[in-house]
Amino acid sequence: MSLENFIQRATSEWMKVKGPQSDIVFSSRVRIARNLTELPFPMMAGTSQGEKVVKTIEKAWKKIKKHQPILQSAELIRMENLTDLEKRVLVEKHLISPSLAEDSRHGAAIISHDESLSIMINEEDHLRIQVLYPGLQLEKAWELASSIDNLLEKELSFAFDDQVGYMTNCPTNVGTGIRASVMVHLPALAMTQQLNRLIPAIMQVGLAVRGIYGEGSEALGQLYQVSNQVTLGQSEEEIIENLIGVVLQMIEHEQSARARLTSISIIQLEDRVYRSLGILAYSRIMDSKEAMKRLSDVRLGIDLGMIQDVGSNVMNELMVMIQPGFLQQYAGERLNPEERDIQRADLIRERLRMEKQTD
């Protein structure tokens, strides 16, 4: 698949399929960090060493892909060959990290056809295997990530210590090197002012709660990324099991909050949902924060059965398409913030009109 197709498609193929608990859980992700022996970590590597890492991993990928179908249609993309805008789009699709996009001297990524798999090269670590699935499917994501890790380890020598486990650039990843995360939509808990109590409680059990692009990012549209903080002293299965247990409790709390809202203040909730839908359908200027807020309201209305003529997949598409990189890709030119706000409103109106026409 060409790079142009990767960039042009607003929604990854894996996002078009509904997964378990998809009314609340947008996606499940498992990421495995690994480093090669006898080579410095990326932040300390010179040009020749960084290039050696890319070629070594590329060679291993070509040898193992016959054993894993998802790798056969994958493509290796070098960051140095991309524009800043193209890299930004890949970040917005969660195919690469902001770190890889910003410091991409020797960076690359192997991305599968359906974009559920991404292997980042020379990010914070030599390689990071990432698998994304819709809904609550952490165990399935871990199964695929682990199988690819095992195949690569047969071809590559990973830095490993018998006492602490896999060696990584950041101490918080030492041990298993696994980071599991779930993206959850919690609008009812936000409306009922329960998140201020829930988030600290989650963090006390060793989990982190961040925005949609991970550490340091903002939680837009009531989307939160919940992940493990500890990778040392627990097995991969224990990490996955603990996270699933907490997420199931979060789902239960969100469902209870939604039930309360519909039983106590149904008219107020309907007014909020339809008001947001009207604003999305007719506004001429809209910044990203308001757009995510309105899309969150409408997505809640769809999940509660209030809105019948707009599909939840449309909201998923728009939450990606309204980001700055995609807006500029859609426009075919760089836009200043004001121009992006106008383009964002135009794009939302056009997409909603398309949905109405096919209804």
Is 213 marked as binding a ligand? yes
Is 180 marked as binding a ligand? yes
Is 215 marked as binding a ligand? yes
Is 183 marked as binding a ligand? yes
Q: Is 229 helix (H, G, I), strand (E, B) or coil?
A: coil
Asked if 282 contacts 56 with a C-beta cutoff of 8 angstroms, the reply is no
Is 339 marked as binding a ligand? no
Is 332 marked as binding a ligand? no
Is 214 marked as binding a ligand? yes
Is 203 marked as binding a ligand? no
Is 210 marked as binding a ligand? yes
For 284-338, what is the HEC assignment? CCCCHHHHHHHHHHHHHHHHCCCCCCCCHHHHHHHHHHCCHHHHHHHHCCCCCHH
Torsion of CA 141, 142, 143, 144, to 10 degrees: 60
Task: Kindly tell me the number of DSSP H helices and DSSP E strands found in the chain.
Answer: 14, 10
Is 135 marked as binding a ligand? no
Task: Quickly list DSSP for 158-220.
Answer: B-EETTTEE--SSGGGTBT-EEEEEEEE-HHHHHTT-HHHHHHHHHHTTEEEEBTTBTT---G
Is 351 marked as binding a ligand? no
Is 30 marked as binding a ligand? yes
Indicate the annotated binding residues for ATP.
27-31, 94, 128, 179-183, 210-215
Indicate the annotated binding residues.
27-31, 94, 128, 179-183, 210-215
